[in-house]
Homo-oligomer: A and B are copies of this chain.
Amino acid sequence: MITGVPTSELHDTIKTRLLAAGQRYTNRRRQLVEILARSGKPVALPEILRGRSLAQSSVYRNLSVLERAGVVRRLVTDEDYGRYELSEDLTEHHHHVICSNCGTVQDLPMPAEFERRLDQTLDRVARTAGFAEVSHRLDLFGLCADCAEHS
């Protein structure tokens, strides 16, 4: 995710995308975007609801509206809940490190040069398998500092 306080340009971009998708940028949706943007890592539903009076069904519905408009991305994990984050082109390309013990997820940007070479190689390999227009998802698994200490 990697966004602090959401800027007004961010909101403008999102509004434009929603309008293009025939949707309004309502207060509820703005609120969701704020939550995602401030979090700095993919957020699961209970965290979104915690301490806020939001209707569960509205949150799910709005997240999927935002996803269809290309504003939000849904991640599937081994956990019980899906996780949501702002689309990469609204923030910056990044990866995730996931603690294989406690499940904590953390954003992790990579050196640009590394990304460039990675894309190059992947594109070549995928082409040999008959795939085109390739993008990638790269996640890391390991023990976070906390869990490494207490074991």
Contact = CB atoms under 8 A, between A and B. Distances in A.
A49 interface: no
A122 B140 contact: yes
Contacts of A141: 134-137
Contacts of A32: none
A131 B134 CA distance: 28
Given A76-B76, A78-B76, A129 B143 contact: no
Contacts of A76: 76-78
Q: How many chain copies?
A: 2
Contacts of A135: 140-142
A142 B124 CA distance: 12
A140 B140 CA distance: 15
B129 A97 contact: yes
Nearest to A104: B131
Interface residues of A, number: 34
A137 B139 CA distance: 5
Contacts of A140: 122, 125-126, 131, 134-136
Interface of A: 74, 76-78, 97, 99, 106, 108, 110-111, 114, 118, 121-122, 125-126, 129-145, 148
The 7 A-B pairs with the shortest beta carbon distances in the complex, nearest first, are A130-B145, A134-B142, A131-B142, A76-B76, A138-B138, A137-B139, A132-B143
13 contacts: A97-B129, A97-B131, A97-B134, A106-B129, A108-B126, A110-B125, A118-B118, A132-B143, A133-B143, A134-B140, A134-B142, A137-B138, A137-B139
